[in-house]
Chains A and B, each alone.
Chain A
């Protein structure tokens, strides 16, 4: 049976591991390399590693750096940040990434997703969708580290991305990011129902029960989390145990 994945997300800028609240007030939380080693040792299901400054700086991904940190990864690795060209994907895969996340570029240039899927396969083309919830409940896709509203509904945009060849959706609530208040279950449900590709819920996890809600109530195929692992004693292994007790299939330890 396919296991539900629990995926630590590692955000970095200037080679340091950081974490913010609502895509803002970033705090340095340690060494990226060290964290990757620890997660590899702890046998996590997968890792998502994003350079949060690349797009803002107008830079391409730092391939040499990805090559360095992939050295310690004998687990699936998704890399994002600054991906705007199909060649970036090829170079990231060569450097040791298994999947590549496209965020701002997928909105600016949706055909990029098709070019990536055609050349490297849908399985490595992850579209990372960040969204905000308006006071009236309306959801809107945002890009450029959450700064630019784009007038798109996450579910409709996710469906378009699937049609264009995306192999997976990483869905992040900017409002809930770093708050420990739980995932935006309604948004996760809307996107999961809109597509037939896997959906990773992200943003807001504060405890293991939140993860269970995203999977059971939201229909997510996997959950990503960062703050809960950086700032609390909670661990991916215990999250797995919690889900197992609730009847969700997870990997054996």
Chain B
């Protein structure tokens, strides 16, 4: 059975993601210890709350460096979920300007209503894509996933934008660069289709 680290840095609905990974046939390991990250097959970076607080908590526990050395350097698949996806960016513009992990170049900006949309963006919305990506294998374009957020990730390189969602115009809802992945929506809360995406993610580590 594959072991998937769930990064524990004091924020996040880590219970839900751990349960979803178990249902998908993986063994979740909730941890912030460097030794653990040396042996896991994949890694999930969860998160709720504000960008600045979250990145501060990661750095306090030296997790930015640990993940860089043990996960990114070895090409171990890592999936950022919701705020966890936003933390992958270079810069976050939530309550001031914050430096992110920088693993996928881009900026996290507030959603701006274009025709009276309510913020936060809460609920089920389409995830559209044209170019297939292994994370979305067997998931047809346009499926609904569950979102709850007020900010969005704008990648610098359009090639890192895997899928988009129509709200406040359109924003990027899935990012990917190398073995670094991120979803703005919550796969662990998106019923069967979300579990399928998590299975696809777990499968990446079998192939890498």
Contact = CB atoms under 8 A, between A and B. Distances in A.
Interface of A: 1-5, 40, 43, 45-46, 67, 70-71, 73-77, 90, 93-99, 118-124, 167-168, 196-198, 221-222, 251-252
Interface residues of B, number: 40
Q: Which of A97, A98, A252 has its CB near the most chain B CB atoms (within 10 A)?
A: A98
Contacts of A76: 146, 148, 186, 189
B120 A45 contact: no
Contacts of B117: 2
Given A2-B123, A75-B189, 19 more contacts: A1-B125, A3-B123, A3-B124, A43-B192, A45-B124, A71-B19, A74-B19, A74-B188, A74-B189, A74-B191, A74-B194, A93-B12, A93-B48, A118-B50, A120-B11, A121-B83, A167-B148, A197-B119, A198-B120
Contacts of B13: 93-94, 96-98
Contacts of A167: 120, 122, 148, 150
A87 to B, nearest CB: 12
A71 B15 CA distance: 9
A124 B125 contact: no
A102 to B, nearest CB: 16
Given A2-B123, A2-B125, A96-B19, A120 B191 contact: no
5 contacts: A1-B126, A70-B16, A74-B191, A76-B148, A94-B15
Contacts of B148: 76, 98-99, 123-124, 167
A3 B120 contact: no
Given A76-B146, A123-B149, A3 B125 contact: yes
